[in-house]
Amino acid sequence: GSEIQEIDQYIDNQASADGESELAGVAKDKNVIYISAESLQTFVLGKEVNGKEITPFLNDLMKDSYYFENFYHQTGQGKTSDSEFIIENSLYPLSRGSVFFTNAQNEYNAVPEILSEYGYTSAVLHANNGSFWNRNVMYESLGYDEFFTEDAYTVNEENSIGWGLDDKAFFDQSVDKLKQLEEPYYAKLITLTNHFPFEMPEEQKSIDELQTGSETLNNYVTTVRYMDEAIQQFFEKLKESGEYEDSVIVIYGDHYGISENHDTATAEFLGKETITPYDHVQLQRVPLFVHVPGHDGEVKSEVSGQIDLKPTVLSMLGVQNNEDITFGTDLFSEDRKEFIALRNGSFVSKDHVYTGGTCYDRETGEVVAEGCQPIKEKVEQELNYSDSIIYGDLFRFFQFEHEEMPKE
Ligand code: GP9
Ligand code: MN
């Protein structure tokens, strides 16, 4: 148990958001509705195809939410499952494989488990096979109460696209399931239509495909647009059902959808000559929206990542995590950690982007001689610590503690 003490010490020495959060407790006893937006990358937001916005709804939602424009996914080979692992635990995923498969029986201190002590019901809604990514096993370890798989949905030829139930039907059928959950609830809805190879039937396309050299990128904008419309319909349904006013809605992109194999086409779309390694890191940005009823919109520019979501959500719900081990920090705190590490060891800090052994100025993308080394060491340290926790199942030896925030 001494290694876990060392890691705890390391975490305690990092910036911590001890009650300094701008939004601490604002969502006390409210529902949390997460939307995991499949393969959604930031670079398509605010963009148009032949005069039509790709994401009209999400573009509007920025005016009405906290929108994080420099938010990064931190996933590895476990893709969607890695993003889930990160947001529930504020640990890093593994450098190879999916922790959902390799370490599903570990001891964790995940958000659903913590919230069950505060009277929350937790659920995942995802219209795919329950054993995909070993979810049915892992969700038990994370403390989820309910898992609505494809078996809980009406799926037929008319309402299927690509991988299965289309997002519009999925959200439509999900509202009733949410309504049946005992409040307050913590629910995560995982979309599916915007998944490679981004298939969209001609008659359901609301915008033209792109005309680049990549079929994948060309189709991507049409499925992104479809997901945008599906999310819009979901918001409308939530308003009708009354869930909207009682819920914080958090939308995040799970991981990239367009790989570096499509760099030439991506460069063309973005009006750039080439995609440099610096650009490649910047393309790992995925949108994050935090919608709090009654709060005005605000664009947040700080460097942030999926690892920050657990501490952020817990803080908004008024849960004070006195003894926990999280590698992220509250997004609404002044006192934040200085970098976001990607799983491959690349990182982004306020001033720099580091990747493939080269240090770049974050603003200009120019190569700089120094500045990255001190953070590079911390990133390596942290990724190693997180790996040790997972491979050694070290949370077995740690005493977690949390209490409700005292009322002022
Ligand atoms: C499958 C869905 C997609 O259930 O989450 O998985 P991905 O391939 O994106 O990891
Ligand atoms: Mn995914």
- Ligand 1 pocket: which of 36, 132, 138, 189 to mutate (most atoms within 8 A of CB): 132
Q: What is the pLDDT of residue 375?
A: 97
Q: Which ligand is nearest to the CA of 132?
A: 1
124 alpha carbon – ligand 1 mean position (Å): 14
Q: What is the pLDDT of residue 402?
A: 84
Alpha-carbon distance 91 to 253, whole Å?
A: 18
Ligand 2 center–CA 79 separation, angstroms: 6
> Looking at ligand 1, which residue's alpha carbon is closest to its atom 6?
80
4-23 burial, b for 16+ CB within 10 Å, e for fewer? Answer: beebbeebeebebbeeebeb
Q: How far is the CA of 168 from the centre of ligand 2 (A)?
A: 17
Residue 397: which of 8, 42, 110, 29 has the closest Cα?
A: 8
Per-residue model confidence as pLDDT tens for the chain (408 residues): 699 999 999 999 875 545 579 999 999 999 999 999 999 999 999 999 999 999 999 999 999 999 999 999 999 999 999 999 999 999 999 999 999 999 999 999 999 999 999 999 999 999 999 999 999 999 999 999 999 999 999 999 999 999 999 999 999 999 999 999 999 999 999 999 999 999 999 999 999 999 999 999 999 999 999 999 999 999 999 999 999 999 999 999 999 999 999 999 999 999 999 999 999 999 999 999 999 999 999 999 999 999 999 999 999 999 988 899 999 999 999 889 999 999 999 999 999 999 999 999 999 999 999 999 999 999 999 999 999 999 999 999 999 998 876 554
Ligand 1 atom nearest residue 81's Cα:
10
Ligand 1: atom nearest CA of 39 is 9
3-state secondary structure the chain: CHHHHHHHHHHHHCCCCCCCCCCCCCCCCCEEEEEEECCCCHHHCCCEECCEECCHHHHHHHHHCEEECCEECCCCCCHHHHHHHHHHHCCCCCCCCCHHHHCCCCCCCCHHHHHHCCCCEEEEECCCCCCHHHHHHHHHHHCCCEEECHHHCCCCCCCEECCEECHHHHHHHHHHHHHHCCCCEEEEEECCCCCCCCCCCHHHCCCCCCCCCCHHHHHHHHHHHHHHHHHHHHHHHHHHHCCHHHEEEEEEECCCCCCHHHHHHHHHHHCCCCCCHHHHHHCCECCEEEECCCCCCEEECCCEEHHHHHHHHHHHCCEEEEECCCCCCCCCCCCCCCEEECCCCCEEECCEEEECCEEEECCCCCECCCCCHHHHHHHHHHHHHHHHHHHCCHHHHCCCEEEECCCC
Residue 79 Cα to ligand 1 midpoint, Å, equals 7
Ligand 1 pocket test, pick from 147, 149, 192 with the greatest ligand atom count within 8 Å of Cβ, gives 192
Atom of ligand 1 nearest to the CA of 163: 1
Q: How far is the CA of 267 from the centre of ligand 1 (A)?
A: 26
Distances (CA, A) of 5 to 10, 281, 395: 9, 33, 10
Residue 402 known to bind ligand: no
80 known member of a binding site:
yes
Structure tokens at 363: 């603003």
255 annotated ligand-binding residue? yes
Catalytic annotation on 55? no
Q: What is the pLDDT of residue 408?
A: 46
254 is in an annotated binding site: yes
In this structure, the residue with its CA closest to atom 5 of ligand 1 is 80
77: CB partners within 8 A, 6+ apart: 94, 96, 97, 98
Cis peptide before 311 (omega within 30 of 0): no
Ligand 1 atom with least separation from CA of 126: 4
Amino acid present at 8? D
> Phi and psi (nearest 5°) for 361?
-75, 130
Q: What is the pTM of this model?
A: 0.97
The alpha carbon of 163 and the centre of ligand 1 are apart by a number of angstroms equal to 9
Q: How far is Cα 144 from Cα 160, in angstroms, rounded to an integer?
A: 27
Residues 30, 157: Cα–Cα separation, whole Å: 37
231 and 74 Cβ atoms separated by less than 8 Å: no
Ligand 1 pocket, Cβ-based, cut-off 6 angstroms? 79-80, 126, 128, 132, 190, 192, 195
Atom of ligand 1 at shortest range from CA of 129: 4
Task: Single out the catalytic residue among 80, 193, 222, 329.
Answer: 80
**Nearest residue (CA) to ligand 1, atom 7:** 80
CA–centroid distance, 159 to ligand 2, in Å, is: 20
| Residue to probe by mutation, ligand 1, list 254, 259, 306, most atoms within 8 Å of CB | 254
Q: Which of 41, 75, 133, 138 to mutate to test the pocket of ligand 1 (most atoms within 8 A of CB)?
A: 133
149 belongs to an annotated ligand binding site:
no
